[in-house]
Amino acid sequence: MNPSDIKEPEWIFPFDVMEVGESFFIPTLRPAEIIYALENGAKRAKVKVKCYITHKDNHLGVRAWRIR
């Protein structure tokens, strides 16, 4: 199976309950798409996030920190 054939779930980003300095991890095989969605979601929520591609428990994904 090709990773592009796998559909991403619909993610709900917790920006409204996050304090500055908190982060969350989203496992994904398509990190660029998640980073794009995170940055756009943060803009709509009027917060600033910093996103990094990383691994957690042997899963590829993106970690997003609220920075403002």
Beta-bridge partners for 25: 63
Q: How big is the chain by its Cα radius of gyration, in Å? A: 12
User: Which pLDDT value is given to residue 3?
Assistant: 64
Backbone angles phi, psi at 35, to 5 degrees: -60, -45
Asked if residue 60 is part of any domain, the answer here is: yes
Read off the pLDDT of each residue in 52-63 and give the average, rounded to a whole number.
97
Asked if residue 61 is part of any domain, the answer here is: yes
Q: pTM, whole model, 2 decimals? A: 0.83
Domains contained in the chain, number: 1
User: Which pLDDT value is given to residue 38?
Assistant: 97
Asked if residue 33 is part of any domain, the answer here is: yes
The CA distance from 44 to 19, in Å, is 17
Percent of the chain exceeding pLDDT 70 equals 96
Boundaries of domain holding 22: 17-66
The CA distance from 18 to 29, in Å, is 25
Read off the pLDDT of each residue in 23-51 and give the average, rounded to a whole number.
95
Asked if residue 26 is part of any domain, the answer here is: yes
Asked if residue 2 is part of any domain, the answer here is: no
Read off the pLDDT of each residue in 7-33 and give the average, rounded to a whole number.
91
Asked if residue 48 is part of any domain, the answer here is: yes
Asked whether residue 2 carries a pLDDT value surpassing 80, the answer given is: no
